[in-house]
Amino acid sequence: MRVRELAEWLGATFEGDGEREVVRAASLESAGAAELSFVGNRKAAVQALASGAGCLIVPAEFPNPEGRTLIRAPEPRAAFAKAVGRLHPVAAAEPGVHPTAVVAGSAEIGSGVAIGPHASVGEGARIGARTRIGAGCAIGRRVTLGEECILQANVTIYDECDIGARGILHSGCVIGADGFGFAMAGDRYEKFPQIGRVTIGDDCEIGANTCIDRAALGATWIGEGTKLDNLVQVGHNCRIGRHVVVAAQTGFSGGVVVEDYAVIGGQVGIGDKARIGTRAVLGSGCGVLTSKIVHAGQVVWGTPARPLKEYLEQLASLSRLPEARQELAELRRRIEELERR
């Protein structure tokens, strides 16, 4: 694809040789004359000077004294991501139902749907047009999948769950398993029936081996555009807003509310009924206590989670403890000497 065409498709401007062909995307370190890369930060800007990339996607202020071929974009990383999709399109699946798949007679299958080997689709399910269901997937009764979803191999969706358009579900994820709900009856636990559902909005991505539990009553809800990494656990009756990003191995207890555009690092633990405000940031490994509120825009870290400035001050104090112990020992020694005199 020519640089001129790519820049026009991205809605960006270019400098240099607009007729240059770029055929692949690559890292700054390895890119060659026919490859595209990008500058996303100051370190990359320094590396770009030595890069052999035929074209670079750069921010508006990037200098170009050598007259290199550039595409200038307000958000180079996002523009590069779009360009990668254009240069490396995902191979389209052949529409149709594999002979080993089992599709219930009452299921509604849209046009252009591809259902892979040994997959199953339950009674009353509705599969949107051009959706791709990988090998070994299990789609329960009365499940709804929107248009152009991609289910990789061995995805399990329990009965009566709804997933919006263009969802991507990676291998091993489980949607709609029972929430962890039990009530003590005498000297033993009785299971609290989990009769709710899971509702996932458009353009969501669910990582490998991630589990989203159905609600006890009502719905566990995931908003439009939210991205969950691998090995994330979402408990029953959680409500996760729009365009939230959650890194791997994070766990949400039941009833947690996460508002729009929050950013949650890896290995974060969030207690029952906690609330995370809009655009809040939770640093990796932090712990949010039951019913705790993290306010909108707040950045927190540590266990229990606390404002970043406070957390860093406490870390600094901890780092000075060995020195403080030595000073205390010296003071005690001097006091003992004075007492002996």
Q: Give the residue numbers marked as catalytic.
A: 236
CA atoms of 319 and 321, how far apart (whole Å):
6
CB 178 within 8 A of CB 214: yes
**3-state DSSP call for residue 196?**
coil
Cis peptide bond N-terminal to 304, omega within 30: yes
* DSSP for 17-80, written as a single string: -TT-B--EE--TTT--TTEEEE--SHHHHHHHTT---SEEEE-TT---TT---EEE-SSHHHHH
d(C-alpha 127, C-alpha 286), whole Å: 39
For 127-148, b/e burial (b = at least 16 CB within 10 A) is bbebbbbbbbbbbbebbbbbbb
